[in-house]
Structure 1
Amino acid sequence: MKRLFTNWKKTILYTVATLTSLVGFSIVAILGLLLFMEDNYQDKVQAAETSQVQEADDTFHKPKIEDLTPLEKVEVEKTEYISEEQFVADLHSHFNEITGWGAYENLDMNQADHFSRAIVVYTKYFIDKGIEDKSLEQDFNDMRELGLKVVNEKDEESVKLLHRYLHDLDKAINGYEHEDTFGVTKTLTGK
């Protein structure tokens, strides 16, 4: 009887030890899997972010420099801008960031070049598409020339003037509210 009781004790001890080992192994396996999945998840997030940046770089809103040479001949096949109003509001916002509120003193010419290229491409697109308001069409032609001057000559004054065109056009066609008016556009001034 004593031997049976001893074997019974050993059996319980072995069973408990085996179950404890299995539970411990399972916990370690689950933790390892979670850590692997977390690393894999971070890799996927990073890959997705990189992909999104690449996709953003491929849009006409952020045109590639090599696609814009010669800039005067670029044709827009697909546009993210539905209207001239949307285009003006968006580019005005970008020019506010790079030139507005004192930023002009530390002008980033790479950004200015980038957005000026967008102006050159999109003003041509809207002009070719047909603009009913002849004053707005003239302002777009003027902005296109200024954009080319920024791209070709890195002219900082033209960057400042482009911002002023966008500011006044945003007021004229979008109702942008701001106390300043620069009086550079034909659309706003009627001249």
Structure 2
Amino acid sequence: MGWKKWLLIIPGMFILFGGSVLLGWSILQISNQSDTVAADAGSSVTQEKEEFSKEVINTPVSEEIMVLDSGEKGHDFISEVHAFYDETLTWGRIDTANYEEQKEKAESIIETLTHIKEVKNEELNTDFKNIQTLAETVVKSDDREAMRKLHRYFHDLDIILHGYNYDDTFQITKFRGENKTNSSE
């Protein structure tokens, strides 16, 4: 091949290579932007409500409302399970959560609820029955919607029991605390 042909081929290869790099970089940027938009839009509603104010603005519910056999405070049990779900299910993690870990937590919830000595509120007792049913569902199958609902129950109960801002709840519980009525808002 003559040197004149090389003068045309070499710049053409540089232009082709540069264009390919630019195209690849553009596709990567578009992909990253769409991932960010999807994350911001909230692939799960759980993500949208995950952060809430821990400022006590309502009267916290007496810890005597539920008594556990284990000696653990019921409020602590609710907060601990809520923290677990915040760590494992929120911000889009519900789709990739480890099922075995979720199953173990559901079994733990069932064990704790089975050994409650006393619940001094019928609506809270109903919520615990619903929670137990959802936990049993998770133990039997990898049901992501049941996991989401479990998180929502513990989220709302944590807020209500501790007197945080009720506006940050999903309104899934029957129990609304001492300052709320049973009607949905």
TM range (shorter): 0.5 to 0.7
Letter in 2 for 1:155: D
Pairing 1:137–2:129 present: no
Residue 78 of structure 1 deviates from its aligned partner by 6.8
Could you tell me which of 121, 127, 143 is aligned with 1:155? 143
8 A contact 1:98–1:111 mirrored in 2: no
145 and 174 in structure 1: CA distance in 2 versus 1, 3 angstrom threshold: same
Let me know the Cα RMSD of the aligned residues.
2.1
Residue aligning to 2:79:
89
SS in 2 for 1:154: coil
Residue 178 of structure 1 deviates from its aligned partner by 7.9
78 and 172 in structure 1: CA distance in 2 versus 1, 3 angstrom threshold: closer
Residue aligning to 1:174:
162
User: Greater CA radius of gyration, 1 or 2?
Assistant: 1
SS in 2 for 1:187: coil
Tell me the alpha carbon deviations over residues 88-141 of structure 1, each in whole angstroms, 9 at most, x when there is no partner: 001000011111122112121111111111111111211xx1100111111111
- % same residue: 28
8 A contact 2:82–2:155 mirrored in 1: yes
Tell me the alpha carbon deviations over residues 10-65 of structure 1, each in whole angstroms, 9 at most, x when there is no partner: xxxxxxxxxxxxxxxxxxxxxxxxxxxxxxxxxxxxxxxxxxxxxxxxxxxxxxxx
Could you tell me which of 143, 152, 171 is aligned with 1:183? 171
Letter in 1 for 2:126: Q
The alignment of Structure 1 onto Structure 2 pairs a total of residues equal to 112
Residue aligning to 2:134:
146
Q: TM-score, normalised by structure 2?
A: 0.55
Structure 2: state its 5+ residue gaps: 1-67
CA distance in 2, matches of 1:133, 1:140: 11
CA distance in 1, matches of 2:182, 2:88: 28
Q: Which has the higher helix share?
A: 1
Residue aligning to 1:116:
106
8 A contact 1:169–1:185 mirrored in 2: yes
8 A contact 2:107–2:136 mirrored in 1: yes
SS in 1 for 2:72: coil
8 A contact 1:119–1:147 mirrored in 2: yes
SS in 2 for 1:130: strand
Pairing 1:164–2:156 present: no
CA distance in 2, matches of 1:179, 1:99: 21
CA distance in 1, matches of 2:69, 2:123: 25
Q: TM-score, normalised by structure 1?
A: 0.54
